[in-house]
Amino acid sequence: MKNDRQPLWKRTLAVALALVLLSLTALSAAAASSKAGSSAAPDTYTFGSQERIRTWTLFDPSDKYNEQYQYCVAVNTKQNLVIVYSKNFLGKYAYPEKAFVCSCGKASTPTKTGTFYTQAKYRWALLNGNVYGQYATRITGPYLFHSVPYKTKNAGTLKTAEYNKLGKNASEGCVRLCVRDVKWLYDHLPVGTMVRIYSSSAAEPAEKPSAVRIDPKSKNAGWDPTDPSTRNPWNA
């Protein structure tokens, strides 16, 4: 009677190959999950009784990006906070270089979450509602960093009521900042800068700065007090 059983070495090899394929599949799935997770809430850890952002896992740029770019940017839509990260002593984008108060999208028009690379810059940008923003940087699609809206392309036509919402969710989906802060982004972030947008209540590594408020009755109310323009009456 013919024996159809394979030799032991063949069966051992088949099992080993199956295990290798299973491991490769698992690694691939983990990588895909990690990539997809970049649009989800960031990793956190607990220190004492406080949940904190694990900053060293926020960004996973390529070697080419590491060579060409000084910063990565994180936007926390729940906390209305922008943090600019530079490299720490390990070469990770995990050192909080700058922190800016902002206004992200309100509940009906939320800011898109995910990891993106800035696409373009505009000295003035036309926004939803036929208003304008200064020092705009396109994050992705219709989502931009920009100043609080102006009625026209004139820095003396600031919408003061909207300005006084800085630090709260108030925009149509973009990320609003005061002129001083958004101009810093405009000046220091080249096109192609990595931006990660997420929503988290965990403690960030930098405190949220206080927002400037304008008295709507002030004769200078049409201007952003932080605008460095020589025409700004706040600078007189």
Average pLDDT over residues 87-107: 97
Is 74 within 8 Å of 198 (Cβ atoms)? yes
Q: In the predicted model, what is the mean pLDDT of the chain? A: 89
CB 107 within 8 A of CB 130: no
SS3 assignment, position 66: helix
Q: Who contacts 76 (Cβ-Cβ below 8 Å, separation ≥6)?
A: 82, 83, 198, 199, 200, 204
Of 7-11, 44-48, 55-59, 77-81, which range is least confident?
Answer: 7-11
What pLDDT score does 190 carry? 98
Give pLDDT, residue 11: 61
Over residues 182-198, the pLDDT tens digits come to: 999 999 999 999 999 99
Q: Tokens for 207, please give them.
A: 């405190």
pLDDT of residue 41: 82
pLDDT at position 31, please? Answer: 43
For 95, residues 6+ apart whose C-beta sits below 8 A from its C-beta are 85, 86, 87, 88
Q: What's the CATH superfamily of 44-215?
A: L,D-transpeptidase catalytic domain-like (2.40.440.10)
pLDDT tens digits for range 122-173: 999 999 999 999 999 999 999 999 999 999 999 999 999 999 999 999 999 9
CB-CB contact of 123 with 183 (8 Å) = no
pTM of the model: 0.83
